[in-house]
Amino acid sequence: MDFDGASGDTVHRIDFSAYVTPGKGYTLEADDHKSDPFEIGKTLYSTLKLDALRYFYLNRSGIPLEEPYAGEWVRPAGHVSDRQVSCYVGVDSAGQSWPACDYKLNASGGWYDAGDYGKYVVNGGIAVWTLLNAYERNPSAFADATLNIPESGNGVPDILDEARWEMEFLLAMQVPEGQALAGMAHHKLHGVKWDAMPVLPPAESDTRFLFPPSTAATLNLAATAAQCARIWKNVDADFAARCLTAAEKAWQAANAHPDMLAAEFPDLGGGAYGDSKVSDEFYWAAVELYLTTGNLDYQKFYTKSENNLSAQAMFWADTASLGTISLAVVGQDTAAQASLVKAADDVMAIMYAESNGYLSPLSSNNYQWGSNADALNRAIMLALAYDFTSEARYLDAATEVMNYVLGRNAVNFSFVSGYGTQSLEHPHHRFWGNQPENGFPPPPLGALSGGPNGNPTDPAAIDAGLVGKPPAKSYVDDIGSFSTNEVAINWNAPLAWVAAYLDDANRPILSDEQSPATDNPIQSIQPQAKRGFLWFAILGGVIVSGLLVAVNIWRRRQA
Ligand code: 9MR
């Protein structure tokens, strides 16, 4: 029995992982507590990987979502008018006044950021990087014609086609040659007012603008375009060359304007994505440029950086570990690998602390806006530590993070739509309003809610009585709750990364070819698993009211 500090619950964990017979409708009973029905099966991560990746197609801007790709989520193209978008004229929160610019950009396309229809370079940057990093870690896990998107069947892995949809937008946000700020990237593009809720994205809008360039956005462009240049080299050499040119120009521009920090335009209809510290973005961009070009100047830059080898769990404003991960994964840099293993150890220390009954990777003060993505970004550290050490405890821990997200948590709820007996149904999303009778479909499978937020700020969360609740319980599945229940590209990206990782790590065991199904899979499976371990899937979130916790477990057995 454990006390769980972040929720105030007292928790029993029941490990029923020895029971591996596939089936539906299982329940677990202890004393007078009975669990929700759950399923034991083999396909959790293989379907979650694809559903989590399809999130991005279903949030494309500037293109109609059509059959046979979109199903219930068919809708006309949104914001086609971003093809000709001009600069916002006004004064920012720092008192700086921004005049008109004498160019327009074709910044159509890209993904909508989240529940809103804004498009933000900093957040696009980390989301694209995360998808491309999953690919770079293991290209063989991502094939063409797997995601049912318009590009499926073109001979290029679907994950690259999807990432390119956003990469093209990031490239389009760069200030053109001949301008004073040439090479810098505009921070964001959004409307002057928040759109109503729910509402379809309009095709035309004359109230959307480019917001001023920033150093952070420019370095996000430099980093991802550098990553693009090396990945597309053998896929589409012209595109790779375009990416490299943009990356190097962005790098130079950021160095010429190292402290253009994005200020706010608080009364308008977009998120701020302000970031007062950009040394981490400089480090990340230098690493990516070095890995792509081999130019030692970039190496000199990043090794001198205060962020060198930093492996703090990443989020949109803190991107240092993206550089460290690329160094470790792409550059096979052993110091970077060691630093990530150390970060994984720190996550494990939180998870397996006595006061952490739900094995959450977050400590009480980590439950902030988008906490589920923080959890999954920590799982990326754990997964990479398994790659670098082959120590199964890291893979176990990464799996436990997924268990937390999928239902073994203080709100007895799967934060991923369609996965779990009680799962996300009412995300803060302008199209997925879950009012089919009014033309607003429910969320598609595989969308991740931001999750518990110890400082909820939206009216729906306040009405739901979340203020003052323990942080791990400060959550409501309500379309109005943008501070606890929004969805976002930078949150679904780590979900896809981790789902793809776990699918990959467990595939040799779960595939019927290697493990012929019999009545008793434990005895029938031959111990030939990757890295010498056997894994069995037991799915389903089994939680009874915060007292009794049984889990979605992946069972490890020594070969
Ligand atoms: O993810 C962002 C979170 O870290 C911030 O605390 C929050 C408030 O500024 O904004 C979040 O990002 C939102 C963005 O500003 C606008 N689009 C939706 C994003 C997710 O809620």
What's the rounded Cα separation, in Å, for the pair 222 and 288?
A: 8
Residue 556: its pLDDT value, please?
Answer: 28
What's the rounded Cα separation, in Å, for the pair 358 and 157?
A: 37
Which residue intervals of 313-391 are DSSP H helices? 320-329, 334-351, 371-389
As a whole number, mean pLDDT of residues 271-298 equals: 98
Q: Atom 15, ligand 1: which residue's CA is nearest?
A: 271
Q: Is 448 in the pocket of ligand 1 (CB under 6 A)?
A: no
Share of the chain above pLDDT 70, in %: 91
Question: Is 60 exceeded by the pLDDT of residue 517?
Answer: no
Question: Is 80 exceeded by the pLDDT of residue 544?
Answer: no
What is the sign of the dihedral through the CA atoms of 313, 316, 318 and 323?
positive
CB 450 within 8 A of CB 484: yes
Question: Is 80 exceeded by the pLDDT of residue 412?
Answer: yes
- 477, 478, 503, 504: the active-site residue: 477
Question: Is 50 exceeded by the pLDDT of residue 45?
Answer: yes
116 is catalytic: yes
Which pair of tokens denotes residue 80?
Answer: 């086609």
Q: Atom 16, ligand 1: which residue's CA is nearest?
A: 271
**pLDDT tens figures, 340-360:** 999 999 999 999 999 999 999
| Residues in a beta bridge with 321 | none
Angle of helix 121-137 versus helix 44-57 axis, rounded to 10: 140
As a whole number, mean pLDDT of residues 212-240 equals: 98
Cα 514 from chain centroid (whole Å) = 31
Tell me which of 55, 93, 113 to substitute to probe ligand 1's pocket, judged by most ligand atoms within 8 Å of the beta carbon. 113
Least confident among 372-381, 404-413, 506-515 = 506-515
Percentages (nearest 5) of helix, strand, coil residues in the chain: 40, 15, 45
Angle of helix 296-304 versus helix 279-293 axis, rounded to 10: 150
What distance in angstroms lies between residue 354's CA and the mean position of ligand 1's atoms?
32
Question: Is 90 exceeded by the pLDDT of residue 525?
Answer: no
Least confident among 38-47, 169-178, 208-217, 504-513 = 504-513
What distance in angstroms lies between residue 271's CA and the mean position of ligand 1's atoms?
6
Q: Is 273 in the pocket of ligand 1 (CB under 6 A)?
A: yes
Least confident among 463-467, 469-473, 537-541 = 537-541
Q: Atom 13, ligand 1: which residue's CA is nearest?
A: 271
486 is catalytic: yes
Contacts of 265 (CB under 8 A, 6+ apart): 88, 90, 92, 93, 211, 272
More confident of the two residues 185 and 421: 185
Sheet of 542-544, strands arranged across? 2-4, 9-14, 548-550, 542-544
- 387, 458, 478, 486: the active-site residue: 486
Q: Which atom belonging to ligand 1 lies closest to the Cα atom of 270?
A: 16
Q: Which atom belonging to ligand 1 lies closest to the Cα atom of 113?
A: 17
More confident of the two residues 32 and 256: 256
What's the rounded Cα separation, in Å, for the pair 432 and 532?
A: 43
What's the rounded Cα separation, in Å, for the pair 493 and 34?
A: 34
Q: Is 415 in the pocket of ligand 1 (CB under 6 A)?
A: no
Q: Quick one: which of 157, 156, 147, 65 has its CA closest to 111?
A: 65
503 is catalytic: no
What distance in angstroms lies between residue 28's CA and the mean position of ligand 1's atoms?
38
CB 357 within 8 A of CB 403: no
What distance in angstroms lies between residue 290's CA and the mean position of ligand 1's atoms?
31
Q: Is 370 in the pocket of ligand 1 (CB under 6 A)?
A: yes
Q: Atom 18, ligand 1: which residue's CA is nearest?
A: 114
Half-sphere exposure of 485 (CA within 13 A, CB side): 30
Q: Atom 10, ligand 1: which residue's CA is nearest?
A: 271
Contacts of 232 (CB under 8 A, 6+ apart): 160, 164, 239, 240, 243
Which pair of tokens denotes residue 131?
Answer: 């998808």
Which string of DSSP letters, residue by residue, matches 265-310?
A: -TTSBS-----S--HHHHHHHHHHHHHHH--HHHHHHHHHSTTTT-
Residue 507: its pLDDT value, please?
Answer: 67
Share of the chain above pLDDT 90, in %: 86
CB 244 within 8 A of CB 225: yes
Residue 508: its pLDDT value, please?
Answer: 63
Contacts of 196 (CB under 8 A, 6+ apart): none
What is the 8-class DSSP label of residue 392? H
More confident of the two residues 19 and 248: 248
Q: Which atom belonging to ligand 1 lies closest to the Cα atom of 488?
A: 20
What distance in angstroms lies between residue 58's CA and the mean position of ligand 1's atoms?
20
Backbone dihedral region of 47: left (phi > 0), alpha (psi from -120 to 50 degrees) or beta?
alpha
If you average pLDDT over every residue of the chain, what do you get? 91
Classify 87 as helix, strand or coil. strand
Domains of the chain: 1-61+333-559 (1.50.10.10)
Q: Is 272 in the pocket of ligand 1 (CB under 6 A)?
A: yes
Q: Is 116 in the pocket of ligand 1 (CB under 6 A)?
A: yes
What's the rounded Cα separation, in Å, for the pair 268 and 350?
A: 39
Question: Is 90 exceeded by the pLDDT of residue 20?
Answer: no
What is the 8-class DSSP label of residue 62? S
Q: Is 318 in the pocket of ligand 1 (CB under 6 A)?
A: no
**pLDDT tens figures, 388-401:** 999 999 999 999 99
Q: Quick one: which of 467, 474, 384 has its CA closest to 138?
A: 384
Q: Atom 3, ligand 1: which residue's CA is nearest?
A: 369
Residue type, 342: K
What distance in angstroms lies between residue 278's CA and the mean position of ligand 1's atoms?
18
Q: Which atom belonging to ligand 1 lies closest to the Cα atom of 482?
A: 21
Q: Which atom belonging to ligand 1 lies closest to the Cα atom of 115?
A: 18
Classify 445 as helix, strand or coil. coil
**pLDDT tens figures, 101-133:** 999 999 999 999 999 999 999 999 999 999 999
Residue 516: its pLDDT value, please?
Answer: 34
Question: Is 50 exceeded by the pLDDT of residue 150?
Answer: yes
Classify 370 as helix, strand or coil. coil
- 116, 158, 275, 387: the active-site residue: 116
Residue 2: its pLDDT value, please?
Answer: 81
Q: Quick one: which of 424, 434, 372, 367 has its CA closest to 403?
A: 372
Q: Atom 5, ligand 1: which residue's CA is nearest?
A: 369
Q: Which atom belonging to ligand 1 lies closest to the Cα atom of 315?
A: 4
Tell me which of 117, 273, 453 to substitute to probe ligand 1's pocket, judged by most ligand atoms within 8 Å of the beta carbon. 273
Residue 514: its pLDDT value, please?
Answer: 41
What's the rounded Cα separation, in Å, for the pair 224 and 322?
A: 10
